[in-house]
Chains A and B, each alone.
Chain A
Amino acid sequence: MLSRVAENLFWFGRYFERLEHDARLLDAARRMSMMPVAETAAPSNEWSSVLVAAGGRRTFPGDIETAAAQEAVNHLVSDPSNPSSVFSCLKAARDNARAVRASLTTDVWEATNDARDEFRAMRMPSVNDGSLTDFIDWAKAKAARVRGAVEGTLARDDALQFIRLGWFVERADSTARILDVKYHLLLPSVREVGGGVDHYQWASLLQATGTLRTFQFVTHDHVNPKGVAAFLILQPKSPRSLRYSYSQIDAALGALEALYGERPACRSVVEEMLDRLLVDDIQIVLDAGLHEFLTDFISANYRVSDAIGASFGFGLQVTEAEANGAGPTKPSQ
């Protein structure tokens, strides 16, 4: 497979995963904005939290701490200047897919192309009516359709593995970010202060990763800060934990190793990451400093992404301006 094609597939995977993450963040914020706020706690702005978790510190044009609900929604949904907005993710995912059409099945292409077309025809969601919920459902359904088409129709070959690598590198990043935005809630010093208000806060973390029910199903526990941290970082059964994401990255690289008959150099870096996540007790992570752990993880995850690129020869893209220089003599032959 061409290195460029592998790179496009990797980013195709990443952008669809990011789109789904946007939708879940919006869902969590929407719920939280309807929950009671602890009287003793400083009033928290859920909308600014999700903006931060989605990387909005670099992209949000106004004061992120006082972002209004509709501003946050617009920034995460339709803002073309935000490279992580649903709009931008759809465009980037489709551009990547279009560049490698021949490596995708019709099902995958149509799922991608339909999502983009439907989005274009859609009225943008408002926080004041049901349209935000409808939009969130729509985005999750589209991400699920693409994932289903990828898993259900692509050949069990390298293309599939590069998409999976994209998904799980992005997922690890998303989970680490949302945790880092809310890490203070999970620190042992935080005690529940009446009325179960903090319960909502902890639950919102699970909601933002779409795993509230899964948490209860897997742990048979009540939502509690330590449990949530353990579930999102170390729990191998959690579909969005750092540990599970890395086991999937490792599996995809293992599949490529089997296909190519050669061990990709980046696999060692991934194994180091997995080792880091093979901790028995979350208390060890918490004692060492959750915030430090997460910031460290996010940078290490970046390095993994780079190492994957280096192993498979990523890093070559022709810019639009250059491509448009083609064919001045007989452009329409």
Chain B
Amino acid sequence: MCATQRYSDKTVLGTATCFNEMGVGEDIRPGYADIADWIARTDLADLHRKCEEASVILRRIGVTFAVYGEQTDAERLIPFDLIPRVFTAPEWQRIEAGVMQRSRALNAFIRDVYHDAEIVRAGKVPDRLVSKNDVFLAAMKGFSPPLDIYAHIIGTDLVRTGPDEFYVLEDNCRTPSGISYVLENRELMMRLFPEFFQGGRIAPVDGYPDLLQLTMEEVKPPACTGVPTLAILTPGPFNSAYYEHSFLADQMGISLVQGDDLFVENGKVWMRTTRGAERVDVIYRRIDDDFLDPLAFRPDSALGVPGLMRAYLDGNVTLLNAPGSGVADDKATYCYVPEMIRFYLGEEPILPNVPTYQCGDADQYAHVRDNLQDLVVKEVHGSGGYGMLVGPKATADERTSYLQRMESSPGSFVAQPTLALSTSPTLVEEGVAPRHIDFRPFALSGQTVRVTPGGLTRVALPEGSLVVNSSQGGGVKDTWVLRY
């Protein structure tokens, strides 16, 4: 299935059957002319040198992430690929409209499930995925957050299989990360290759912190009448996404707090400062629901703030994203997002889902069992590429032992056909070669939905790999949205 593709004399092997974002040979796709030309005329050694330069800069800035379970080097650099991924203006318009539509539907869904659950009553979504869902939060029933927004920040994972074929792989409605890479990757590219950016054809991404700040201000709690005090709540420097937490706090000029920095008194939330207690109104929390408040959730959590949930439900503080938002983003609920779009918005989905088999359904499970070698199986509550089976790449033994895992609780698994993910030219040891990519744009919901033109393009660096997660050897690329 592999054949040699040539962009230039530096080319290695690729999967000929996959859609190549840049195009192949003389047939360069719109928006990629400059990049194809640059690759063709630059020595491989120069490209590697620039790449090395980029790593040095990233390490100096400290753009690192921690990998769970790795004891040796607590911080690692996410591999940065020099060759950008490009969206033309019409491509972007469709993606933007699609993720905005999805954000509206997901927020309407979360609101609905914590109020009258009309979508369940209409028979569009089974109750087992709603009030029976592990992440359904009974405490949220009947509560309405400001502007009825629950998932203020949503990262939508998209893949592409052809010129016009985009699919949504999953929605991240809890604490999606990656935006700091989007901004840092762009800074890096503008520093290393200023010539590409002359003329302003590439849409800037650095407005994101302002938009996030605006969103946070718009959803201030009813108790706050003046200018709200904003903060980001982080689990601390040992968390994998700590760099991002501190980056965003820095960009917005707001406090980066840990659980111990906050306390609740008289139903209100306060920060401990060198000048005594200071009131906090809006918290972008990057801590999972379970750890948010030891009084409401896990009593052993040292990361959270006792009484925070009560203060939230009393309207004294706003939390982004709302606790219980996870009910909208697990891999089983995902199948029903197109239904949500039709049900709440009366529209047809702009971006389709990947067809998904629910192993909780006996017939679909039977199909999955019989066709395991052609499918990708994922845990409903899994993430980060952990615990998934890529059927075509797995050995017979791996498939058998995975089946045994599924047997005890089929409802915890979903399966999808293996997609021929698009590839993007990527700098590897031997040259420039096609590697599979995906894409995560970020939608911010406040008084309106705002999408920063760009997002995180992740690339699976090992040849043929489809797993783009940074925890599994994935890298990142700058993503260009062309304004014309």
Contact = CB atoms under 8 A, between A and B. Distances in A.
B236 A318 contact: yes
B235 interface: yes
A312 B237 CA distance: 22
B231 to A, nearest CB: 9
Contacts of B326: 329-330
Given A3-B261, A325-B303, 15 more contacts: A1-B274, A2-B261, A2-B271, A2-B272, A102-B249, A110-B60, A117-B60, A312-B274, A322-B303, A325-B301, A327-B240, A332-B177, A333-B174, A333-B175, A333-B176
Contacts of B381: 329-330
Contacts of B68: 324, 331
Nearest to A319: B302
A139 to B, nearest CB: 19
A113 B470 CA distance: 23
A34 interface: no
A320 interface: yes
B148 interface: no
Interface in B162-208: 172, 174-177
A319 B258 CA distance: 12
A323 B66 CA distance: 12
Interface string B287-320: 1101100000000011100000000000000000
B288 A113 contact: no
A101 interface: yes
A2 B155 CA distance: 30
A113 B249 CA distance: 20
A79 interface: no
Contact of A333 (B177, B242, B257, B272): B177
Interface in B375-393: 381, 383-385
B256 interface: yes
Interface in B238-275: 238-240, 242, 246-247, 249-250, 255-261, 271-275
Interface in B354-396: 381, 383-385
A326 B260 CA distance: 14
Best-buried of A2, A101, A113, A326 by chain B (most CB within 10 Å): A326
Given A113-B62, A318-B302, A333 B273 contact: no
B290 A323 contact: no
Q: How large is the interface on B (under 10, 10 to 19, 20 to 34, 35 or more residues)?
A: 35 or more
B131 interface: no
A114 interface: yes
Contact of B291 (A4, A313, A320, A326): A326
Nearest to A96: B237
B470 A332 contact: yes
B288 A109 contact: no
Main secondary structure of the interface of A (DSSP, over half): helix
B161 interface: no
Instruction: Report, nearest first, the 7 A-B pairs whose CB atoms are least far apart.
Output: A332-B384, A326-B235, A102-B250, A323-B238, A322-B302, A316-B260, A323-B236
A95 B238 CA distance: 10
B465 interface: no
Contact of A316 (B155, B255, B272): B272
Nearest to A318: B236
Nearest to B75: A98
B54 to A, nearest CB: 16
Nearest to A262: B275
Contacts of A320: 238
B471 interface: yes
B342 interface: no
Interface string B57-81: 0011110000010000000000000
B5 interface: no
Contact of A114 (B60, B239, B257): B60
Most buried by A among B235, B273, B469: B273
Given A4-B260, A114-B60, A316-B272, A330 B172 contact: yes
Nearest to B291: A326
Interface string A27-51: 0000000000000000000000000
Interface in B431-479: 469-471
A260 B275 contact: yes
A333 B288 CA distance: 10
Contacts of B135: 329
Nearest to B252: A102
Contacts of B247: 101
16 contacts: A4-B272, A6-B274, A95-B237, A101-B247, A113-B60, A113-B62, A158-B274, A256-B274, A318-B259, A318-B260, A323-B235, A329-B174, A330-B172, A331-B383, A331-B384, A333-B175
Interface string B7-18: 000000000000
Nearest to B66: A324
B394 to A, nearest CB: 21
A330 B175 contact: yes
Given A1-B274, A2-B255, A332 B236 contact: no
B442 to A, nearest CB: 12
Interface in A288-333: 312-313, 316-320, 322-333
A99 interface: yes
Nearest to A4: B261
B236 to A, nearest CB: 4
A319 B235 CA distance: 10
Contacts of A319: 302
